[in-house]
Amino acid sequence: MKKLLAAAMLLVPAMLFAQSPFDGTWKTDLDKAKFSPKPILFSLNGGMYDCSSCSPKIHVKADGSDQPVTGQPYDTISVKEVDPHTVQFVTKKNGKTVFEQTRTASDDGKVLKVKTTSYPPDSAQPITTESTLEREGKPPTGSNAISGSWKLTKANQSDNGLLVTFKGSGNEMTLSDPTGMNWTAKFDGKDSPVKGSYGVDSVSLKQINDRTIEVSYKRGGKLIEVDKLTASADGKTMTTVSESKLTGRVSTFESTKQ
């Protein structure tokens, strides 16, 4: 009997018993990030706000009132012009604020500073982000100075937005982070629910090799993002190549095990 049991055990993949190289808590270093070079396009002109690089595109009144939108992680957006160089945004989902944002263009119009406070649905602690974008091409005439084509060059974020914890068990993996986002999914390509996120509601996993996995996120049954995660041979760093299936933007991030 013992011999039969031993023989049967040999048929079980070794990876199911080995500790996953992703196990543990990781922190992303945004100073090492390689942001997508694809431009971000938006404008405020004649009392209307347009985001042509958004998917789907956004076209709403910029009068400070909640305007309905579809296909986004939020269902309303308000846009308020503070001055010729500054615009404030507030998005909501079912009346609950998703994020507040201020965009301010420099006096020469070449640099855009963006300050964002995001409110995850299951967390009392918001995520704060400060981003720097550089203008590409000339600004459109007659528009607020935030208008035009921009390239993201730098970002800083509060730690609760940079930390994530993975736990492998058999043929499944669990993710959790300080914002309350969490999920557990098997490596079978089937959708599993995501909790604590406005942006996505399901996830599926695919094992590429011993140190690489593919994580696919959906919202309302539509593929939103595909992340390819690769753990280094020494287990100290993790590289994430993140592709937005909505905008075609691909960025690369490096995280360090804590």
What is the third-level CATH fold of 18-35+160-257?
Lipocalin (2.40.128)
- SS3 of residue 30 by DSSP: helix
Label residue 160 by pLDDT band (50, 70, 90): very high
Supply 232's token pair: 């280094």
Task: Show Cβ contacts of residue 9 under 8 Å, excluding neighbours closer than 6 positions.
Answer: none
Percent of the chain at pLDDT exceeding 70: 93
pLDDT, one tens digit per residue, over 78-120 is: 999 999 999 999 999 999 999 999 999 999 999 999 999 999 9
- Record the tokens describing residue 132, joined without a space: 């720097």
What is the model's pLDDT at position 4? 35
Gap between the Cα atoms of 245 and 226, Å rounded: 7
Q: Do domains 18-35+160-257 and 40-157 have the same CATH topology?
A: yes
Q: Return the structure tokens found at 150.
A: 């921009």
Q: CATH second-level architecture of 40-157? A: Beta Barrel (2.40)
Instruction: Outline where 44-179 has alpha helix (H).
Output: none
User: What is the residue extent of each domain of the chain?
Assistant: 18-35+160-257, 40-157
CA-derived radius of gyration, the chain: 21
Record the tokens describing residue 221, joined without a space: 């049954």
Cis peptide before 56 (omega within 30 of 0): yes
